[in-house]
Amino acid sequence: MEPRIAVQLASGHRDEPTVEQIRNWAGAALAALQDDRACLTVRMVNETEMTDLNARFRGRQGPTNVLSFPFEALPGLPQDKHPLGDIVVCPPVVAREALSQGKKIEHHVAHLLVHGVLHLHGHDHHSDRQAEAMEKLETQVLATLGIKDPYRSV
């Protein structure tokens, strides 16, 4: 079975990645996690939508680069599917960050998608140990995509 990755391009930003790029990047993370049954949605949004989501779900002002929303299982869900949840990315924010960090925009988006998929699989970075493990896995997945370690200084 192959992962199902639904993509919604709603940002209207010039640096919004293609559906194929998004599926490739998220798919690489799912492959590393050996999850071939995953169902997830990736949505690219503008700053207005991201600001609203950030306020409603995190209680924070302004837009952020990425948010992950884990799926909450309903009784009776077929077992052949493994819904993970939703990942929301804001290309305008990502583009500014990439510019300020000296990174390629598409590499930064790829990193954030991989990061989001790992969150949906239960990885986190609340402690130094968790952060180190998550960063190592992110770096390994990105290497399979030909993207250098995003945590090393440029």
What does the pLDDT profile of the chain (154 residues) look like in tens digits? Answer: 678 999 999 999 999 999 999 999 999 999 999 988 889 999 999 999 999 999 999 999 999 999 999 987 767 766 556 778 999 999 999 999 999 999 999 999 999 999 999 999 988 888 889 889 999 999 999 999 999 999 886 5
Long-range contacts for 14-17 (Cβ within 8 Å, ≥24 apart)?
Answer: 15/91, 15/94, 15/95, 15/105, 15/106, 16/44, 16/91, 17/44, 17/91, 17/106, 17/109
What is the enclosing helix (H) or strand (E) of 9?
A: strand 4-9
Residue 151 sits at φ, ψ, to 5 deg, of -95, -10
Fold assignment, 4-144: Collagenase (Catalytic Domain) (3.40.390)
